[in-house]
Structure 1
């Protein structure tokens, strides 16, 4: 039940307000049909697995070891690898909201301590690290936290696609099903990596997210 609640794609942490660059991709024609949409979302989840996913696992293990300095290193590693303003804004807003929710709902002391560090400006407070701390506080497994992060990203983007383009909701669910099928292999790869191994290469996605910041008309936040 805890996994269902905190893995819910509609968890009120602000995901509904962002498209992860998809809005610009639709506007410029990079995404224009179900096939191009699936390629774009798959690129995002693979990029996430090799960056956010690695940091999430590191933070989860650090939380279990009660190592705040290690958690902070993972947090900064995520933030420093967000190349554009939109991605940085998204991860810190969602991270802080999730931390605030955990303090209120779970009365999680460790998450509360981390939230205090965020408020003092000593760490950015990224979403993957917040997820790691919350799932550790719930006594769940790191695999669960990784899966929820990957699912949440794909679900967020596909939910946005239904508001941005002409798309059958059944096609969106079929895409989500196929992309979710890659999460287990992505976890196995990320689980043996360190923060130094965090890397991604998706220049088109990064450029589109940067373009979105200066767009005159937007449905989603930057």
Structure 2
């Protein structure tokens, strides 16, 4: 029964219906489409998979595991340090806005839903700005979701938002999007495994090297026609 309760909590957190605004961001995908790097289902899938395996797996995913560990241990100073570090690594105004806005929305939801104990909620409320990764890990700890399960849901939710953005902006059909999402399952599992290895290293092996993503995100800020906020 406990595992089923955790699964339901995880489905709640990873749901596209969670009111934190993920649908309004593309994280550089729209700029890649505008530049012609992404123009069909094959190139869209390659873009999303490369971001999972070479961006998420090297930084945000292992950081997710570190934050989950520190929330669970009640180490707010460590949470704050990693939250501020991650915020500083966001290379463009849009990427900073994205993690700030979604993190603030989820932190507010945690407070309103009274998830977790008072110490966790107070600690989360004390962070400003609060990044999405930090708020999501806090919610997982509050709902007693295990680290690897929570990270898999976080990465799948990210991939799902990317596929939804591709469907709208390339554009692609709904069935093509579902085929793409199904094929990305394996990439999500690889990210979780790689993140575990990097998070357990001493010191943690985190890399933010993703110059193409940074350049495209910067270009998106002045792109003439846009559907998304990043």
- Within a 5 Å distance, the mapping from 1:1-222 to structure 2 comes to 1-46=8-53, 47-108=55-116, 109-118=118-127, 121=128, 124-194=129-199, 196-222=204-230
Q: Superposition RMSD on alpha carbons, in Å?
A: 1.6
* Unpaired runs of at least 5, structure 2: 1-7
TM-score, normalised via structure 2 length: 0.88
- Work out whether residues 29 and 162 of structure 2, in 8 Å CA contact, stay in contact via their aligned partners in 1: yes
TM-superposition CA deviations, 1:154-174 (whole Å, max 9, x none): 111111111112312111111
- Work out whether residues 43 and 202 of structure 1, in 8 Å CA contact, stay in contact via their aligned partners in 2: no
CA distance in 2: counterparts of 1:157 and 1:128, whole angstroms = 17
- 1:107 positional shift: 4.0
- 1:214 positional shift: 1.5
User: CA separation of 1:9/1:49 partners in 2, compared to 1, >3 Å: closer, same or farther?
Assistant: farther
* Unpaired runs of at least 5, structure 1: none
- 1:200 positional shift: 3.5
User: CA separation of 1:168/1:153 partners in 2, compared to 1, >3 Å: closer, same or farther?
Assistant: same
Match of 2:4 in 1: none
Deviates more, 1:106-115 or 1:198-207: 106-115
- Work out whether residues 55 and 77 of structure 1, in 8 Å CA contact, stay in contact via their aligned partners in 2: no
TM-score, normalised via structure 1 length: 0.91
- Work out whether residues 103 and 111 of structure 1, in 8 Å CA contact, stay in contact via their aligned partners in 2: no
